[in-house]
Amino acid sequence: MTTSPERAAIERLLDANLDRAREGLRVLEDWARFALDRPDLVARTKDLRQRLGCLHQERYKLARHTASDPAAGLAHPAQAERQNGASVLAANAARVQEALRVLEEFGRLEDPALAAEAAAIRYALYDLEVDLLQAGRGGDERRALLRRCHLYLVTTPVEGLEGLVAAALAAGVRLVQYRAKSDGADALPGAAPDDRHRFAQASALRQLCHRHGALFLVNDRIDLALAVGADGVHLGQGDLPPAVARRLLGPDRLIGRSTHHLEDLRQAVADGCDYIGVGPVNATPTKPGRESVGLAYVTQAAAECPLPFFAIGGIDLANLAAVRRAGAERVAVVRAITAAEDPGAAAAALLAGLEAGA
């Protein structure tokens, strides 16, 4: 049981950290509003700030006595070293998280409701911070990360997709494409195409990818990519022209293009795509009826393509070495990971195979 002097000290402490957390959240909120132009992130940040505000009791404010606070007005040299918006964002997110931890610990003594809410908000802020930082990632940063990616996971509707992608990301995959055709051609048995479900699933995968620092792209659907804040789209030969996609997506998001012969590749380069899909190298049920292009096209692409390209189509650990010998430094896979008994182990083995052939 706390004594009166201790209770007064705790109330001052809770007031100070409520102020600190709410002020930091306002910094994040204004960055989302004025720098990122992301109403969704503004709404999420405002919600956290207002939830704290509802618990900022009058008795905590009345306990405030700034004049007797020995740390009032203290600064740190690190504050002068912040060079850009991202560094200010990260510093304020850390400030809020630290304040929330204090509220959680000391709130248990005087205000269990505040302690519980502080804990919930702290965990929500972990994801929000990543989303804010990723939303500020520009085109140069995305393209630099793309160049470092050598294994590209293309999803297909399977049970437990989020867990599967999480395992692949934990193994080191840093490029994921969400592929769920609107016509339901690749849907799970008995599942009807549903954009609400696709939006929820793509949103969850985008957050998962961004927590791992991975790029997240959407197949075909520019509207869905924009709706979930994806890093870009992948377009097939029958999809919207890249120029139209660029106009809708802006200059900072990535655009990939499937190609099946050298003329397709040259056109994709001329259209300003960021990377090229080369295939299908082998016949694959993912593209039923599509004739395989074999390794000859991979060799042609390696000789001519100025952009990162990913060989795709029935590639797995058994034929990876042959694809590497044909000139591919990067590969995209579907079933080699999604149909594996252990997706994480399969991804790790593919990454090791790509590194061994480098």
Residues counted in the chain: 358
Residue 87 is a catalytic residue: no
**Considering the chain, what percentage of its residues have pLDDT values greater than 70?**
89
pLDDT at residue 190 greater than cutoff 60? no
Average pLDDT over residues 14-18: 97
* CATH topology classification for 139-356: TIM Barrel (3.20.20)
Residue 61 is a catalytic residue: no
Q: What are the residues whose beta carbons fall under 8 Å from the beta carbon of 258, sequence distance 6 or more? A: 234, 235, 236, 237, 264, 277, 279, 312
In degrees, to the nearest 5, what angle opens at C-alpha 90 toward C-alphas 31 and 83?
Answer: 80
Residue 198 is a catalytic residue: no
Q: What is the pLDDT of residues 195-248, one digit of tens each?
A: 999 999 999 999 899 888 899 999 999 999 999 989 999 999 999 999 999 999
Q: What are the residues whose beta carbons fall under 8 Å from the beta carbon of 228, sequence distance 6 or more? A: 199, 202, 203, 206, 218
- What is the Cα–Cα distance from 340 to 345, expressed in whole angstroms? 9
In degrees, to the nearest 5, what angle opens at C-alpha 154 toward C-alphas 152 and 160?
Answer: 120
* CATH topology classification for 4-135: Ferritin (1.20.1260)
Q: Kindly name the residue from 49, 122, 258, 324 that is annotated as catalytic.
A: 258
- What is the Cα–Cα distance from 82 to 100, expressed in whole angstroms? 23
Which tokens belong to 89?
């964002």
Q: What is the pLDDT of residues 151-181, one digit of tens each?
A: 999 999 999 999 999 999 999 999 999 998 7
Q: What are the residues whose beta carbons fall under 8 Å from the beta carbon of 153, sequence distance 6 or more? A: 165, 168, 173, 175, 176, 177, 332, 333, 334, 337, 338, 347
Q: Which amino acid is at 240?
A: L
E strand or H helix at 276, and its extent?
Answer: strand 275-278
Q: Which residue has the higher pLDDT, 127 or 255?
A: 255
Q: Kindly name the residue from 257, 287, 324, 330 that is annotated as catalytic.
A: 287
List the domain boundaries for the chain: 4-135, 139-356
pTM to 2 decimals?
0.73
Q: What is the DSSP letter of 87?
A: H
Q: Kindly name the residue from 179, 198, 253, 324 that is annotated as catalytic.
A: 179
- What is the Cα–Cα distance from 166 to 179, expressed in whole angstroms? 16
- What is the Cα–Cα distance from 148 to 175, expressed in whole angstroms? 10
Q: Rg of the chain over CA atoms, in angstroms?
A: 25
Residue ranges in the chain assigned as alpha helix (H): 4-30, 39-54, 58-62, 85-110, 112-135, 139-148, 161-171, 195-211, 222-228, 242-249, 262-270, 294-304, 320-325, 335-338, 343-356
Q: What is the pLDDT of residues 326-357, one digit of tens each?
A: 999 999 999 999 999 999 999 999 999 999 86
Predicted confidence at residue 64, as pLDDT, reads: 86
Give 79's pLDDT tier (boundaries 50, 70, 90).
low
Q: Which amino acid is at 252?
A: D
Which tokens belong to 10?
């705790």
